[in-house]
């Protein structure tokens, strides 16, 4: 039987995993409700068992969206999260706590809870000074350049009666129309579509090129004014005033005098929110009077004067008719639930992802079951349980397939991994998936060749690998066509006329100028993403050197670990991959680093090895680039060969300990600039 300590440790491990998926990968797999219930269970167990306290527990932190590519800025006052409630009883408890603390009459303001990316805008003398994300609540990323592209954010305020300097907080959103258009473009170019508008908004706001941000129209709804010279002591009236200054203050907020008023507001928006052009996931209830807010005060992670009511995810029952299996470009086999069509959150759902064999086993899913379906993040349908009371008496447990549904190869499962994998590299979905990855925007960026056309060329026998693209001719293409049926049943024709064929061939020809690091990413070595491809290219310079590199050579490169090193070695151990690279060389692709792009500006740091750790006044990647541009070398770990540990704020204690034990010199950011100047 599981002990209390074991349960606490299990909850901590699972919550940290979901924190990583949500805040770092932007790919949540459970609902906010399920997460909150786990967190509340952990909080209760820790309170009842203080001997198991841990400062690193998920209950002692807030999530973070900090990005090392942006400069971090400390908030003047913390951007805390809100406690969540899910029923009227919990709202009454909140109201009772407020009534107990306050000695005078009070009222609430009810607002919609927008499902986007929290942001703080600072204005000085009527002009936008700075825009910072929530980050970890204490400091966030400076995204001013990107926020300036959002048309609903005023760069200059209207009128003259605003404070000299103040802060206004709100949420960056991606409207449904923008999200649908963006995902259609990503699918057409072979990129992975975003899971939901929140992830898309977050990914857009963190782009390095503000011109690209401007091409994805974001919106910004603002809901909280802070500063020392605010117009009134009423939160609601301050927002009304901010609307006069030119801010987009949503018109949905209402004054509520008691819990009954709050309940009516919730009931109204539980239905009407589905008609809004953006996502919401609840209601925020705030004490209106600012003096009373200060009287109620703060907890360590949340204010006592506000609470969030989270709408329960809409859940429906439907029949599990069958389970089909999809094969991805890496060979991973994903099960998909085929459902009796059912309306859910405004759309008709026929299919839902089941992730992997472990989920099927954990839910004990069986064909013919009546299953519960929710939409994760209001977008992706997922099966979350079974109504066992409606299970047919003759149902049988589901056995995960043993052979690839496309090519018949025996599936394999690597130790420590959840997915079953088809080992046949010639399996059609894998071949087409690799080609789609190769032509995608971040790889070779070949225009006019989306997913449907890759399938058309494959089905006609014109391409079997990425090198075949460079042998295509207009004569082969013109006149090819195919009818395809979308999931919604609509049928459309794809194919090539004179112009589309010429455009595609021009895109293929232009791809020959794509630099080596992107070509390396495009050929699809497992675990080699954009950043890793760039590091490998810059360190090994040519594809020939990389092919011959040993395991030790690779792990000596910053951020290249055991798994990546072995994956690269395995890739080049296959003769067919060597042959593919040779064919791409003959086609004229770039397999040598353009040294001019990485040419050193000086030899001020020649032969010096640095480990960079902590937070700096500029992005850490910029500092690493400066080291390389001036003849130095970056390393991810401290050893006896390290010359300097460049230490910023919040540097990891383990690095400091190891540097001290090895006698490695530690320098500050200012001392680093001094080294450069010499």
Enumerate the domain spans of the chain.
Answer: 4-60, 72-310, 315-421, 428-513, 516-596, 600-677
Establish whether domains 428-513 and 516-596 are of one fold: yes
Higher pLDDT, 60 or 339: 339
Q: pLDDT (tens digit, 9 = 90+) per residue, 309-357?
A: 988 777 889 999 999 999 988 888 989 999 999 888 667 888 888 888 8
Helix (H) or strand (E) holding 322: strand 315-327
Residue from 601, 543, 611, 552 nearest 577 by CA? 543
- In this predicted structure, the answer to whether residue 67 has a pLDDT above a threshold of 90 is no
List, by residue number, the catalytic residues.
Answer: 113
Percent of residues, the chain, with pLDDT higher than 90: 43
**Domain 315-421: CATH superfamily, name plus number:** Nucleic acid-binding proteins (2.40.50.140)
Q: What is the rounded average pLDDT for all residues in the chain?
A: 86
Strands 347-353, 332-344: pairing is: antiparallel
Q: Which two tokens stand for residue 102?
A: 């306050």
Residue 652 confidence class, pLDDT cut points 50, 70, 90: low
Q: pLDDT (tens digit, 9 = 90+) per residue, 347-399?
A: 788 888 888 888 898 889 999 999 998 875 445 788 888 999 999 999 999 99
**Least confident range of 7-21, 141-155, 183-197, 218-232:** 183-197
- In this predicted structure, the answer to whether residue 25 has a pLDDT above a threshold of 50 is no
CATH class of 516-596: mainly alpha
Q: pLDDT (tens digit, 9 = 90+) per residue, 201-234?
A: 888 888 877 777 878 889 999 999 998 889 999 9
Rg (CA), the chain: 28
CB 98 within 8 A of CB 256: no
Give the C-alpha distances (Å, rounded to integers) separating 492 from 259, 488, 499.
53, 12, 19
CATH class of 72-310: alpha beta
Q: pLDDT (tens digit, 9 = 90+) per residue, 402-436?
A: 999 999 999 999 877 778 999 999 999 999 999 99
- In this predicted structure, the answer to whether residue 570 has a pLDDT above a threshold of 70 is yes
Tell me the Ramachandran region of residue 615: left when phi exceeds 0, alpha when psi lies from -120 to 50, beta otherwise. Answer: beta
Mean pLDDT of 79-100: 89
Q: pLDDT (tens digit, 9 = 90+) per residue, 90-112?
A: 999 999 999 999 989 999 999 99
Higher pLDDT, 678 or 320: 320
CATH class of 4-60: mainly alpha
**Least confident range of 169-183, 484-498, 514-528:** 484-498
Expressed in percent and rounded to 5, the helix, strand and coil fractions of the chain are 40, 20, 40
Strands 117-124, 280-287: pairing is: unpaired
Fold of the 428-513 domain:
DNA polymerase; domain 1 (1.10.150)
- In this predicted structure, the answer to whether residue 584 has a pLDDT above a threshold of 80 is yes
What pLDDT sits at residue 323?
Answer: 95
CATH 3.40.50.10190 fits 600-677, yes or no: yes
Give the C-alpha distances (Å, rounded to integers) separating 54 from 18, 58, 80, 678.
18, 9, 21, 46
What pLDDT sits at residue 20?
Answer: 53
CB 362 within 8 A of CB 356: no
- In this predicted structure, the answer to whether residue 571 has a pLDDT above a threshold of 90 is yes
What pLDDT sits at residue 27?
Answer: 57
- Residues 111, 116, 118, 124: is their CA dihedral positive or negative? negative
Residue identified by tokens 């399920």 is 34
What pLDDT sits at residue 542?
Answer: 94
- Residues 627, 632, 637, 642: is their CA dihedral positive or negative? negative
List Cβ neighbours of 208 (8 Å cut-off, separation of 6 or more). Answer: 69
Which range has highest mean pLDDT (186-190, 193-197, 200-204)? 200-204
Strand partners, 130: 122
């Amino acid at each position: 039987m599981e002990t209390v300590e074991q349960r606490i440790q299990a909850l901590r491990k699972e919550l940290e995993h979901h924190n990583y998926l949500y805040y770092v990968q932007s790919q949540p797999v459970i609902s906010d409700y399920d997460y909150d219930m786990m967190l509340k269970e952990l909080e209760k167990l820790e309170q009842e068992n203080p001997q198991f306290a841990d400062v690193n527990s998920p209950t002692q932190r807030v999530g973070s969206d900090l990005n090392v590519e942006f400069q971090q800025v400390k908030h003047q006052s913390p951007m805390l999260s809100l406690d969540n409630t899910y029923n009227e009883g919990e709202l009454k408890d909140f109201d009772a706590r407020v009534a107990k603390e306050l000695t005078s009459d009070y009222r609430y303001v009810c607002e919609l809870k927008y499902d986007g990316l929290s942001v703080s805008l600072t204005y000085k003398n009527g002009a936008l000074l700075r825009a910072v994300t929530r980050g970890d609540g204490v400091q966030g990323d400076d995204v001013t350049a990107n926020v300036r592209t959002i048309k609903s954010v005023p760069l200059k305020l209207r009128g003259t009666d605003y404070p000299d300097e103040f802060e206004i907080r709100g949420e960056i959103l991606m409207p449904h129309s923008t999200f649908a258009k963006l995902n259609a473009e990503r699918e057409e170019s072979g990129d992975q579509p975003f899971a939901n508008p929140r992830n898309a908004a977050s990914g857009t706001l963190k782009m390095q090129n503000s011109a690209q941000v401007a091409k994805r129209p974001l919106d910004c709804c603002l809901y909280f004014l802070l500063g020392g010279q605010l117009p009134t002591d009423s939160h609601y009236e301050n927002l009304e005033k901010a609307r006069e200054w030119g801010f987009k203050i949503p018109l949905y907020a209402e004054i509520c005098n008691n819990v009954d008023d709050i309940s009516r507001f919730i009931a109204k928006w539980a239905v009407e929110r589905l008609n809004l052009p953006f996502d919401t996931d609840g209601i925020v209830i705030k004490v209106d009077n600012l003096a009373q807010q200060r009287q109620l005060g703060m907890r360590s992670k949340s204010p006592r004067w506000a609470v969030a009511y989270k709408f329960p995810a809409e859940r429906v029952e439907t029949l599990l008719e069958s389970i089909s299996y999809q094969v991805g470009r890496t060979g991973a086999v994903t099960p998909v639930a085929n459902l009796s069509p059912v309306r859910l959150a405004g759309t008709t759902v026929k299919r839902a992802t089941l992730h992997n064999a472990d989920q099927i086993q954990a839910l004990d899913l069986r064909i013919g079951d009546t299953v519960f379906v929710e939409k994760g993040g209001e977008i992706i349908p997922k099966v979350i349980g079974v109504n066992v009371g409606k299970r047919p008496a003759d149902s049988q447990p589901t056995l995960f397939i043993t052979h690839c549904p496309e090519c018949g190869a025996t599936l394999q499962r690597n130790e420590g991994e959840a997915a079953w994998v088809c080992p046949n590299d010639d399996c059609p979905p894998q071949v087409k998936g690799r080609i789609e990855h190769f032509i995608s925007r971040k790889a070779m960026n070949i225009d006019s060749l989306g997913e449907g056309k890759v399938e058309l060329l494959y089905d006609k026998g014109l391409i079997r690998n990425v090198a075949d693209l460079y042998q295509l001719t207009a004569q082969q293409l013109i006149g090819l066509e195919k009818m395809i049926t979308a999931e919604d049943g609509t049928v459309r024709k794809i194919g090539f006329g004179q112009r589309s064929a010429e455009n595609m061939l021009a895109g293929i020809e232009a791809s020959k100028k794509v630099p080596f690091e992107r070509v390396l990413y495009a050929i699809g070595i497992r675990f080699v993403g954009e950043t890793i491809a760039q590091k490998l290219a810059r360190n090994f310079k040519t594809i020939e050197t990389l092919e011959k590199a040993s395991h030790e050579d690779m792990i000596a490169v910053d951020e290249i670990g055991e798994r990546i090193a072995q994956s690269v070695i395995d890739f080049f151990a296959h003769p067919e991959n060597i042959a593919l690279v040779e064919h791409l060389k003959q086609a004229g692709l770039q397999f040598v680093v353009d040294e001019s792009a990485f040419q050193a500006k000086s030899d001020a740091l020649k032969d010096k090895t640095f480990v960079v750790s902590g937070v700096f006044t500029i992005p850490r990647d910029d500092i690493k680039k400066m080291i390389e541009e001036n003849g130095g070398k970056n390393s991810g770990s401290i050893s006896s060969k390290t010359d300097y540990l460049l230490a910023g704020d919040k540097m990891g204690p383990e690095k400091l300990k190891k540097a001290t034990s090895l006698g490695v010199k530690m320098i500050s950011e200012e001392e680093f600039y001094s080294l450069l100047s010499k």
